[in-house]
Amino acid sequence: MTERLYLVDCYIQDFAAIIKEILPTGIILDRSAFYPESGGQLGDQGKLKTENLEIIVKNTRQQRGKLIHEVETIEGLEVGIEIKGELNWVRRYQMMRAHTAQHCISRFFQINYSAETVSNKLKTSINRIDLSPLSKLSLEELNEIAAQINKLISSNMPVSISFLPRKEAINFLRDKEYQTQYLGMVPKSVKEFRIISINNYDWAACAGTHVQNTSEIGYITFEKTVNKGKLRERIYYSVS
């Protein structure tokens, strides 16, 4: 099982690790800062380096609990050797900003429109959130909402990571109006939940990567909305 360094510290850009397993499709390490594609967030890209080799990591994904670094080639690699991992930090940091923005946007719509986030997808440029129940919003209304969220995120709200035992986490999040019904679907083998708190504004169970302070998000712009069925709106946003 790979020790997932990003769970405790999202700012690790490079790290040393040992190759534990080589699959036809990728490399498994004893520890890694690479985030695997999940929860609407793209998998990390970057490089694995040895003294003589530099191998491109095209994507990171998880399969049956394994964290797989999909590499361009496995040639020259051996189980047991030490490598240095390096993230494509520009891409990852953009993802962290967009992901933290998603928490803020989701919470804003929950408080002000009683709309829950039913899915989300982060990209390197335009991101999207599906909200329900929500009726079509005018462009004027969307711009006003963006202004209010931008005011919130520019107020330097700290973002923190904590870990709570499963039952305690569910009770805590229920008190905070988080959609705890989905947490029951998490395999029972998961004994502890990772909680992302944004000051006294938002709390969520999330394994993704986030910035430490909302001021790092920058500026949110809503690009467009698309109706995705009865009272379900898809909102596209970017951070700059």
Instruction: Give whichever of 19 and 206 is closer to Zn ion, judged by the CB atom.
Output: 206
Q: Which residues pair with 16 in a beta bridge?
A: 84
* Beta carbon of residue 36, minimum distance to Zn ion (angstroms, whole number): 14
169 within 8 A of 159, measured Cβ to Cβ: no
DSSP one-letter code for 34: P
Which is it for strands 46-49 and 82-87: parallel, antiparallel or unpaired? antiparallel
Strands (E), the chain: 3-4, 14-23, 26-29, 31-32, 46-49, 54-63, 66-71, 82-87, 116-121, 127-132, 159-165, 192-198, 202-205, 220-227, 233-239
* Beta carbon of residue 195, minimum distance to Zn ion (angstroms, whole number): 10
* Beta carbon of residue 161, minimum distance to Zn ion (angstroms, whole number): 10
* Beta carbon of residue 5, minimum distance to Zn ion (angstroms, whole number): 17
Burial-class residue 193 by CB neighbours within 10 Å (0-12, 13-18, 19+): buried
* Beta carbon of residue 193, minimum distance to Zn ion (angstroms, whole number): 12
Instruction: Give whichever of 8 and 56 is closer to Zn ion, judged by the CB atom.
Output: 8
Instruction: Give whichever of 9 and 144 is closer to Zn ion, judged by the CB atom.
Output: 9
Instruction: Give whichever of 77 and 118 is closer to Zn ion, judged by the CB atom.
Output: 118
Instruction: Give whichever of 96 and 146 is closer to Zn ion, judged by the CB atom.
Output: 96
Gap between the Cα atoms of 147 and 151, Å rounded: 6
Q: At what angle do helices 139-153 and 89-113 cross, to 10 degrees?
A: 110
Angle among Cα 112, 207, 31 to the nearest 5 degrees reads 160
Q: Which of 196, 133, 212 is nearest to 162 (CA)?
A: 196
Instruction: Give whichever of 47 and 210 is closer to Zn ion, judged by the CB atom.
Output: 210
Can you give the C-alpha Rg of the chain in angstroms?
Answer: 19
Instruction: Give whichever of 55 and 206 is closer to Zn ion, judged by the CB atom.
Output: 206
Which residue's Cβ has the minimum distance to Zn ion?
Answer: 206
The footprint of Zn ion (CB under 5 A) covers: 206, 208
Tokens 């793209």 correspond to 42
* Beta carbon of residue 139, minimum distance to Zn ion (angstroms, whole number): 28
* Beta carbon of residue 204, minimum distance to Zn ion (angstroms, whole number): 6
